[in-house]
Amino acid sequence: MDLPGAAHLMLADGVAHLDPARAVFEAMIEGWARQQRVRFLKSDTIESRVDVVRRLALFSNQHPWQWRAGEVEAFIDQLCSGARPIAASTARGYVGALRMFLDYLVDARYGWTSLCVERFGEAPQQVLGEWNTIAHVTEYEGRPGRRPLSYDEVQALFDAADGRADEIRARRRKGVLTAQRDSALLKTVYAFGLRRREAWGLDVTDLRHNPRAKQFGRCGGLFVRWGKSSKGSAPKRRTVLLVPEMDWVTSVLVQWLEEIRPLLSPGNHPALWVTERRGRVSKRSINEAFEKAREDAGLDPVLDLHCLRHSYVTHLVEFDYPERFVQEQVGHSYASTTAIYTGVSDEYRNRLLTRALRDRHAELWEGPQR
């Protein structure tokens, strides 16, 4: 069949290769990548999966039609041991990629099995199953240290980001505008609960007026166009409304738009966050902005930029916003995902408990019996 990635489409007939095994392996890799591209999977996803396949081939010094369960298990075991072992979720991702690659090879419609038997006398096998793959038994498998920031930690982070700009200015060094941009960016990430890619992809025109909250001006909401996609779909879109508890960010954004951003001479560039070279800020530099502020604030180095999004979810819950509203704000398809992000404080839980007791036993809380 002329399926994308079929063996007869990837290897031309009548061509003699100096290294037939290497040529077939490379054709397999390209065929698998093509099969994924036609499903509109992201290039980063495809490249990461292909990288795992190449790493296993290098580790085992064998080609895919020679792989057996022992080679794959030894490869994963080697990654899980040593000074910097990979996390269980990472290992499961690697095994999943290898399992998909082998599923592709053993699918008779693509013709790799018959080709390998004809040329090398053995066929690829699916050597990964339920007996030797990593089960997904808990909803959250991240590092325990990753958590929402407290209100004091958020304030310390922002004070550190502002302080960096003041320090550079006092020393009369270059980079004041960049530091001010980083501070405004981090505050926006928290105030709207954004992912890194969502913040990176913002344009000036993505700022929205909210007719029900005219006091926020042009900062009443953000139109997010680069939300997390799934299964080869386009990036999801949503509008994040500015909640009153985060209204302090309006002055931050207005100052950035009217006073600081023009000094970077962005011209007609649409990006909200621009560099001194008149380009869109990179995703890596957004991470670095958080890491610098975190270090200056003396916060736990396990905390990362995504923890600000966890903080946003947690604090909205503590502000008593309905769960469905919070879910829509952050663009989660399932409430269970939003629940994973939530880590409310003991103070908030005690407040809920007190409220419940007061409602249930009103006679004990009011009047002379109190």
Q: Domain extents for the chain?
A: 7-120, 151-356
Give the whole-angstrom CA distance, residue 139 versus residue 336.
9
- Give kind and range of the element (H or E) at residue 309: helix 306-318
CA nearest 175: which of 255, 258, 291, 263?
A: 263
| Residue 346: pLDDT band with limits 50, 70, 90 | low
| CA distance linking residue 335 with residue 339, whole number of Å | 6
Q: Tell me how far CA of residue 283 lies from CA of 108, 243, 287, in angstroms.
A: 41, 26, 7
Cβ contact 225:321 at 8 Å: no
Residue-averaged pLDDT of the chain:
89
CATH topology match: 7-120 vs 151-356:
no
Q: Which region among 152-161, 223-232, 281-290 has the lowest average model confidence (pLDDT)?
A: 223-232
In three-state secondary structure terms, 223 is strand
The CA distance from 313 to 294, in Å, is 20
pTM, whole model, 2 decimals? 0.74
* pLDDT one-digit tens code per residue, 183-236: 999 999 999 999 999 999 999 999 999 999 999 999 999 999 999 887 767 889
Class in CATH terms, 7-120? mainly alpha
CB atoms within 10 A of CB 185: 25
- Given a contact cutoff of 8 angstroms between Cβ atoms, the answer to whether 265 and 278 are in contact is yes
pLDDT, tens only, 84-98: 888 888 888 999 999
Q: What is the pLDDT of residue 118?
A: 93
Whether 104 contacts 35, CB under 8 Å: yes
The predicted pLDDT at position 86 comes to: 87
Q: Please say if the pLDDT value at position 144 is more than 70.
A: no
**Residue at 220: amino acid letter:** G
> pLDDT confidence of 357, banded at 50, 70, 90?
low
**Residues 203, 271 contacting (CB under 8 angstroms):** yes
Phi-psi region of 20 (alpha: psi -120 to 50; beta: other; left: phi over 0): alpha
Annotated catalytic residues are 195, 231, 306, 309, 332, 341
CATH class entry, domain 151-356: mainly alpha
What pLDDT, on a 0 to 100 scale, did the predictor assign at position 369? 46
